[in-house]
Amino acid sequence: MSIMKMSDIQKSFGSNHVLKGISFSVDKGEVVSIIGPSGSGKSTLLRCATFLETIDSGIISYDDKDVTKNVNGKCVYAKNLNDFRHIFGLVFQNFNLFPHYSVLKNMMDAPVSIMKRDKREVREECMMLLEKMGLADKADAYPCELSGGQQQRVSIVRALAMNPEILFFDEPTSALDPELTGEVLKVIKQLAKEKMTMVIVTHEMAFARAVSDKVIFMSGGVIVEQGAPEEVFGNTRSERMKQFLQNYNRD
């Protein structure tokens, strides 16, 4: 069963046509990596999937329910967008933790005050998550007191605290120095092992190859290649991706 599905997504910013008919779906328990050169539309795709940008046309659906529909050639969004928002979580490149909230409050506030869940139950769950991430001693710390890697791990557990069915990552390690990148990638690998459904936009090729069930290579607003990592990396068909990987390996 696909948790998320996008078909023929079109998106322009003014005259800049960023997404030119993107279609793909994510099954339960699947880890999908999206790779590609800068400006290929990877992040925009993720932002469309999480409703931070509105699409011009196409269909987005979660759990086989359509979020958008085509009415007389116009793309119309469903009214109950917040019901869909509870299905996914998003981890940002630059964390976007709430600086005035402690780590625990960052995690607990949305489940408690937005979803009206029982405070004690949420606290227990959050503490367990922090424990698992080795961040239990940071529960009362403020984001400014944490390293970049710790902040990103907190932002991952903040998203997990909402019990999402699918988790999106928008270049989760791009704002981190190489030393801190490892600890974040380790967390994502752990989640993959636990069969968390994830879509990861990343520049970490080795990581994408190791962790993904499916790799999508985007360039110029279209999906150029997609498939199992061995296939896409080991038996690259398109010239564009060969060139991309060559440039990448040269660094």
Chain positions contacting another protein, by CB under 8 A:
50-52, 82, 85-86, 88-90, 92, 94, 96-100, 109-110, 113-115, 142-144, 158, 162
List C-alpha distances in Å: 90 to 74, 95, 245, 249. Answer: 27, 10, 27, 29
**Nearest approach, Cβ of 94 to another protein (angstroms)?**
6
Pairing relation of β-strands 2-13 and 16-27?
antiparallel
Residue 82 or residue 147: which is nearer to another protein going by CB?
Answer: 82
**Nearest approach, Cβ of 243 to another protein (angstroms)?**
33
Residue 232: burial class (beta carbons within 10 Å; 0-12, 13-18, 19+): buried
**Nearest approach, Cβ of 157 to another protein (angstroms)?**
13
**Nearest approach, Cβ of 125 to another protein (angstroms)?**
15
Q: What are phi and psi of 219, to 5 degrees?
A: -155, 135
Residue 83 or residue 118: which is nearer to another protein going by CB?
Answer: 83
**Nearest approach, Cβ of 50 to another protein (angstroms)?**
6
**C-alpha dihedral sign at 201, 207, 211, 216:** positive
- Provide CB contacts within 8 A for 100, sequence distance 6+: 142
Q: What are phi and psi of 36, to 5 degrees?
A: 150, 165
**Residue 22: which of 32, 191, 30 has the closest Cα?**
32
Residue 116 or residue 250: which is nearer to another protein going by CB?
Answer: 116
Question: Residue 226: beta bridge partners?
Answer: 216
**Nearest approach, Cβ of 105 to another protein (angstroms)?**
10
Residue 88 or residue 207: which is nearer to another protein going by CB?
Answer: 88
Residue 127 or residue 142: which is nearer to another protein going by CB?
Answer: 142
Residue 138 or residue 240: which is nearer to another protein going by CB?
Answer: 138
